Amino acid sequence: MTPDRLEVGITCSGYFFGLETVRAVEELGYDRFWTAEHITFHRPIQDVVPVLSAAAAVTRRIGLGAAVILLPLHHPVVLAKSLSTLDALSGGRLTVGIGVGGENPHEFEACGVDLRTRGARADEAMEVMRDLWKGSRSSHRGRFWQFDDALMLPPPTQPGGPPLWVAGRSEAAMRRAANRGDGYLPYLVSPDSFAQRVGRLQVMAAQEGRTLPDSYGLGVRLELSLDDREDRAAAKAAAFLTDRFETGFTEDQARRYALCGPAEVVLAQIDRWRQAGLNTLVMQPVSDPGDERAVLARFAREVLPHLHRRSAEPIAP
Q: 2-14: per-residue pLDDT in tens?
A: 456 899 999 986 6
Alpha helix positions (H), the chain? 19-27, 48-58, 76-89, 105-111, 118-132, 171-180, 191-207, 230-245, 251-257, 263-275, 292-302, 304-310
Question: What integer pLDDT is reported at residue 316 of this predicted model?
Answer: 41
Contact 91, 157 (CB under 8 A): yes
Question: What integer pLDDT is reported at residue 310 of this predicted model?
Answer: 65
CA distance 226 to 267: 11
Helix 171-180 crosses helix 191-207 at what angle (to 10 degrees)? 50
Q: Go through the domains of the chain in sequence order and give each one's CATH number.
A: 7-310 (3.20.20.30)
CA distance 262 to 230: 7
Q: DSSP of 71-89, one letter per residue?
A: GGGS-HHHHHHHHHHHHHH
Contact 39, 111 (CB under 8 A): yes
SS3 label, residue 105: helix
Phi, psi of 165 (to 5 degrees): -100, 145
Question: What integer pLDDT is reported at residue 13 of this predicted model?
Answer: 66
In sequence order, the 6+-apart residues with CB closer than 8 A to the CB of 300 are: 28, 29, 30
CA distance 18 to 37: 16
Mean pLDDT by 10 residues, the chain (317 residues): 79 77 96 93 85 97 97 98 98 98 92 97 99 97 98 97 98 97 97 98 97 97 96 95 89 96 98 98 88 93 89 48
pTM, 2 dp? 0.94
CA distance 296 to 224: 9
Dihedral (Cα; 160, 122, 31, 39), 10-degree rounding: 130
Helix, strand, coil in percent for the chain, rounding step 5: 45, 20, 35
In sequence order, the 6+-apart residues with CB closer than 8 A to the CB of 271 are: 310, 315, 316
Question: What integer pLDDT is reported at residue 103 of this predicted model?
Answer: 85
Question: What integer pLDDT is reported at residue 15 of this predicted model?
Answer: 60
Q: Whose CA is closest to 204, among 186, 180, 188?
A: 180
Dihedral (Cα; 270, 272, 275, 280), 10-degree rounding: -30
Contact 38, 107 (CB under 8 A): yes
